[in-house]
Amino acid sequence: MQKYSGIQKFLHDFVLSKKFINKSLFELEKIIYFQNKDVKNLSHIFITGLPRSGTTSLLNFIYSSNQYASLTYKNMPFILSPHFSKLFSKRNIPKKERLHADGITFDINSPEALDEIFFNNDEEFIKNELINYIQLILLSENKDKYLSKNNLNYKRIDLIQSKLPNSIFLISIREPLQHANSLLNQHLYFSQLQKKDDFIRRYMNYLRHNEFGLNHKSWNKPIHFNDLNNINYWLEQWNLFYEFIYEKFQSYKNCYFVIYEELVNQNYVEKILKKTNLEKDKKIDLQFFRNSNKKELNIEYDKNIFDKSQLLYQNFFKSN
């Protein structure tokens, strides 16, 4: 997004900022391309969790199986009309590191968390059109099953499974202090980027990527810590977020907790393959999870919220 031309920025601003345009193109796409495909009872995968918890690595790993359709950068900015997006010629950009500066690379065909454009509509529209929307994506990619990575998917697990009862939900969990530190660093980093280039801020707003940066939105109302530039704010947010996740979803048979630090373990990844009904390749490429190892941290933090978070983290291990 940093190297978008003026025309590209205008097009993204124009299309993504107006729901009417997106919905109109969606309705037109249904008229032209829709075919009634039986997708309701298939095992689609929805990945969620706090950002910086390995959700993108999981997405890329599962997508590499070539068994799932997902939205990719080539669908931008026409997210609600996956067929129409193909009609616009796009320069085939070489793989490069994403803006997060975390070693994860992408190109025009890489999957990404883009379906929030669809979910950022009223609930009635989502309920009525979710299956139709997924069908259009599947038809555009000639696949049977859908793969979504969306850090906000946790808000709508009940809604999704009411429409797609055999869907699988992968919820990623990362060691709290490491995770909080990563969130803090990304917040500071994106705040600086957005101050230099306001299009980055607008772009992230369109996709509802308010996890960090100038328009950050807390997942839960802060209790003791309000300073976004302090590790304890992010540690408390981790605790509040995953307390809800644990209490709400530990009994759901189709929800699986994925421990970020365990993704370097081949046996552990094989268990994920089994849970998701993925066909096992001859060799599992753990390079997707090369950043999952813990780093040495020398930072000050509130002991009470740290201890509380560590206890919760261990509960996820026990239930895994």
CATH of the domain at 225: 3.40.50
**Tokens found for residue 250:** 């530990």
235-253 pLDDT, tens per residue?
Answer: 999 999 999 999 999 999 9
pLDDT, residue 224, reads 96
**Tokens found for residue 237:** 């947010």
Token pair 């729901």 in the structure block, residue: 19
Range 293-302, long-range pairs (CB < 8 A, 24+ positions): 293/261, 293/264, 294/175, 294/178, 294/261, 295/178, 297/177, 297/178, 297/181, 299/177, 299/181, 299/231, 300/231, 301/177, 301/180, 301/231, 301/232, 301/235, 302/224, 302/225, 302/232, 302/235
Q: Is the pLDDT of residue 282 over 50?
A: no
For the whole model, what pTM was predicted?
0.90
pLDDT, residue 296, reads 73
Q: Is the pLDDT of residue 107 over 70?
A: yes
Give how many domains the chain has, as a whole number: 1
Q: Is residue 1 part of a domain?
A: no
Question: What percentage of the chain's residues is helix, strand, coil (to nearest 5)?
Answer: 50, 10, 40
Q: What is the mean pLDDT of residues 277-300?
A: 71
Cβ-based neighbour number of residue 213 at 10 Å? 22
Of 252, 275, 245, 247, nearest to 165 by C-alpha is 252
Q: Is residue 122 part of a domain?
A: yes
176-207 pLDDT, tens per residue?
Answer: 999 999 999 999 999 999 999 999 999 888 88
Mean of per-residue pLDDT scores for the chain: 88
Q: Is the pLDDT of residue 279 over 70?
A: no
Q: Is residue 295 part of a domain?
A: yes
Q: Is residue 2 part of a domain?
A: no
Q: What is the mean pLDDT of residues 253-262?
A: 94
Whole-number percent of the chain with pLDDT over 90 = 62
Q: Is residue 28 part of a domain?
A: yes
The C-alpha atoms of residue 235 and residue 310 are separated, in whole angstroms, by 10
Q: What is the mean pLDDT of residues 59-69?
A: 92
pLDDT, residue 286, reads 73
Q: Is residue 220 part of a domain?
A: yes
Question: What spatial distance separates the first Cα and last Cα of the chain, rounded to whole Å?
Answer: 38
The C-alpha atoms of residue 187 and residue 190 are separated, in whole angstroms, by 5
Helix (H) or strand (E) holding 168, with range, is strand 168-173
Asked if 196 and 73 count as a contact pair (C-beta separation under 8 A), the reply is: no
In sequence order, the 6+-apart residues with CB closer than 8 A to the CB of 247 are none
Asked if 149 and 62 count as a contact pair (C-beta separation under 8 A), the reply is: no
In sequence order, the 6+-apart residues with CB closer than 8 A to the CB of 192 are none
Q: Is the pLDDT of residue 135 over 80?
A: yes
Q: Which residues span the domain enclosing 65? A: 8-36+44-319
Q: What is the mean pLDDT of residues 290-298?
A: 70
pLDDT category at 106 given cuts 50, 70, 90 is low
Q: Which residues pair with 149 in a beta bridge?
A: 47
Q: What is the mean pLDDT of residues 106-121?
A: 87
Of 101, 118, 142, nearest to 46 by C-alpha is 118
Q: Is residue 18 part of a domain?
A: yes
pLDDT category at 21 given cuts 50, 70, 90 is confident
**Tokens found for residue 222:** 């802060």
Q: What is the mean pLDDT of residues 58-82?
A: 91
Q: What type of residue is 145?
A: K
Q: Is the pLDDT of residue 11 over 80?
A: no
Q: What type of residue is 137?
A: I
